[in-house]
A and B are shown apart, each in its own frame.
Chain A
Amino acid sequence: MLTFTLRRLLLAIPTLLLISLVIFLLVDLAPGSPASEIPLTVPPEVRAKILEALGVNEPVHVRYLLWLKQFFWVEPLNGFDAIFGTNYAEGMQRIISYQSRSPVFPLIGERLPQTLTVIGTAYLVGVLIALPIGIYSAYKQYSLFDQFGTMFAMIGFSVPTFFTGTLFIIIFAVGLGWFPTKYDTTLTVTDWESFLKQLRQMAMPVMVLGLANAAAISRYMRSSMLENMGQDYVRTARAKGLDERTVILKHVLRNSLIPVVTVIALGIPSIFGGAIITENLFGVNGIGSALIQAIRGNDLPMVQTLAFIFAILIVMFNLIADLLYGMLDPRIRYD
């Protein structure tokens, strides 16, 4: 297991390097360069100075290596400094956003908590809805509940989040007036009242994302349960007189959860992608909306950094899913 983990970790490095190269080149070689943003009235020698200050004069490979160094060395050092009050990173050039002229990482750090609270809760809600539905649907296959459950899953799986989101806004915010349409980022939870306010404004984005996730996960849960219900060991368990509760919740559920856990882990990075839409719709000031703002404003360093962070998340959770699968399922041994 340890050797497998190490091997996978080592394999992740070239993958990530290649992805970083793709992202860097795609953004860098594209026509919308920072030079085109400078007004034509700026005299040529000033323009050259500006370009030099932005660091876009060097050849491509130098800039790529510099970006890598900044991403993997300078920025973590800065983080270290910020935590421990040291100054190792002093004088090193950081990744600077074109839009705000300040380092990219603190900007992302400011926005990450918003994304994590909304998305984390949404995913949790999704899993908590999905598991019971999947289990009960499989247990009572072809029952009325199962029919409704699978239909609900199919609809939740097919209807895009931006449409459920707008529907929710029309029904619950505009029509019924239960929840605010926009998320108030400046709200800090200090007492009971502000906590309730926070809950109310989180309700819609969480439900939208949660339902979409629940639909996908409950489909997996159901089919995994069905696969296990037909196994011999279930018949044995029933034959030796265990009650249904023990058979389903102990024997079948435990075995069925193995693939579902990996699916849950694999789904985590993709919800960051889905969050881009929800954050834009509800005005949550997270990293998804930061990406859209950066794209609209032609802020190349911000776009590169955010896209690469998304890629790191995907690779990391793929690895975690693989390892979890090996740990949970004794039939799978990687060595």
Chain B
Amino acid sequence: MTDTNLGVAAPETLRAAVWAQFRKHRGAVFGLVVLGLLILFSILGPLVWAPEKLTVVEALKSKNLGPGMSHPMGTDQLGRDQMQRMMAAGKVSLAVGFVAMIIAVFLGTLIGVLAGYFKRLDGPLMRLTDMFLALPLIPLLLVMVMLFRDKLSRQLGPEMGAFLLIVFAIGVTSWMHAARIVRGEVLALKEREYVLASRSIGATPRRVILRHILPNVVSPVMVAATLGVAEAIITESVLSFLGLGFPPDFPTWGRLLYEGLEYMQMYPERVIFPGLAISLTVLSVNYIGDGLRDALDPRIRGR
């Protein structure tokens, strides 16, 4: 995209302009910092914070402790350190969010580009999108997880099976918005002169799409992708919250919250910490999405 201002002395690169606009959005900067901290907490945390494995007797003694010096977030009913579990859970929750988003954005972009560029595919693909939009997603996801979880865990191991199933299920049911946005953009881009020029010198559709269309739909896709992460994390925690997500020894934040519900009256911190983690992640991702939308919109940028 920077090729367009060849010849004119460009005062700044596009990236710098976008960053400058992004930085002006206070919420977005807050989001970036908080999300960064949460990612650091989940990935680097276990390297710093690794309580020794307890023997059975020690574990019995140290169960159900409140937050304190030795256990900053307390321990659970089996004497496991809550903070260590929060770190492990964070890794899974964030991974689910990002991987599901990548699947959804890939599918959405593929279907959007095909529908926008090839007129013959437009009708059927958009009907398909409409149909997916009309599916009752939470019930269907619940059904999918219930019906396929055991079979997949037998084949791929309980952790990998559950992870793949949930990520795939969420990805396959949340590509529709990206597809609609991309299709709209492609329909407009297709009629632009440079695309016509490229086609007139005999470029194959494949080349036109990869070289001229895709780079120009990146910004709306990026915004959709950010919001997709938030959506995927919420969906996963809803499944876990209803007890139909990951197996108990493979925690996510939603799963920890679900387990904490039983002890909510005595130890509210067990619900509050995972809930806060989910909420902060989603909030910061949403703010980043807002900031990105403003930063990538040339009508707002530079004002």
Contacts and interface: CB of A to CB of B under 8 A. Distances in A.
B188 interface: no
A314 B148 CA distance: 25
B286 A167 contact: no
Interface stretch (B15-23, B55-63, B113-121, B238-246): B238-246
B139 A155 contact: no
Interface in B96-154: 127, 130-131, 133-140, 142-144, 146-148, 150-151
A155 B283 contact: yes
Nearest to B265: A174
Contact of A27 (B127, B136, B143, B275): B143
Interface in A153-174: 154-155, 157-160, 162-163, 166-167, 169-170, 174
Interface in B129-182: 130-131, 133-140, 142-144, 146-148, 150-151
A18 B131 contact: yes
Contacts of A31: 147-148, 150-151
Given A27-B147, A174-B265, A295-B146, A162 B237 contact: yes
Q: Classify chain B: how many residues form its interface, as a range.
A: 35 or more
Contacts, number: 118
A328 to B, nearest CB: 22
28 contacts: A15-B127, A15-B131, A19-B131, A19-B135, A26-B140, A26-B144, A26-B147, A30-B147, A159-B279, A160-B279, A162-B237, A163-B279, A166-B264, A166-B275, A167-B272, A170-B265, A174-B265, A273-B137, A273-B138, A273-B139, A276-B138, A277-B241, A280-B242, A298-B146, A303-B143, A307-B140, A310-B136, A315-B134
Interface centre among A23, A163, A315 (most CB of B within 10 A): A163
Interface of B: 27, 127, 130-131, 133-140, 142-144, 146-148, 150-151, 230, 234, 237-238, 241-242, 244, 257, 261, 264-265, 268, 271-272, 275-276, 278-279, 282-283, 286-287, 290
B242 A276 contact: yes
A303 B138 CA distance: 12
A154 B287 contact: yes
A273 B136 contact: yes
A193 B140 CA distance: 41
A162 B140 contact: no
Interface string A273-296: 100110010000000000110011
Nearest to A314: B134
Q: Give the secondary structure class of B's interface.
A: helix
Contact of B242 (A30, A32, A277): A277
Interface string A238-271: 0000000000000000000000000000000100
A263 B286 CA distance: 20
Given A31-B148, A295-B244, A158 B136 contact: no
B257 A162 contact: yes
A30 B131 contact: no
Contact of A30 (B148, B272, B278, B282): B148
Contacts of B150: 31-32
Contacts of B131: 15, 18-19, 22
B241 A162 contact: yes
B282 A158 contact: yes
Given A154-B290, A280-B242, 6 more contacts: A26-B143, A30-B147, A166-B275, A174-B268, A295-B244, A307-B136
Given A166-B261, A273-B137, A158 B283 contact: yes
